[in-house]
Amino acid sequence: MQSPSSSLLRLSAALVVAAAPAVGFAAGETFMNGQSIYGQPAAVSSAARVVNLAQAPRPNIAYGETVAFRGDAGQQFAWTFNGLDQRGVDLAKIAPPGFGAKSAVAYVGRDPSNRR
């Protein structure tokens, strides 16, 4: 005979497994492997260039390029744009909390390995 707690545990596990695919669809900003569709965070020291968002709030970025972004208060973060190509990336979606990149959009170029 099963105890009520083991039945509850099995039911909970089944619900978690059933809900897992729905969580992926709800996120919408990640590939199925969990990686961001925009690329990945990087170390500021690895950036090929620094973009001051006060002067250039809509920079053009080459696909695969690692760029450091500088905000109004001097804060910085870096990102490698190796997710989906040919799109605008709202920097508020990838910036660390409190960075303040409300209206900044990076335009990512074409992935040279894609033949179209």
Nearest Cα neighbor of 71 from 89, 93, 43, 96 is 96
pLDDT of res. 87:
95
pLDDT of res. 18:
43
pLDDT of res. 10:
60
Nearest Cα neighbor of 83 from 34, 24, 27 is 34
Q: How far, rounded to the nearest angstrom, does the alpha carbon of residue 43 sit from its chain's CA centroid?
A: 15
What is this structure's pTM? Answer: 0.73
pLDDT of res. 94:
95
Q: Which residues pair with 42 in a beta bridge?
A: 78
pLDDT of res. 26:
38
Walk along the chain (116 residues) and give the pLDDT tens digit of each residue. 556 665 555 645 544 444 444 333 334 799 999 999 999 999 999 999 999 999 999 999 999 999 999 998 889 999 999 999 999 999 999 999 989 878 899 999 999 998 76
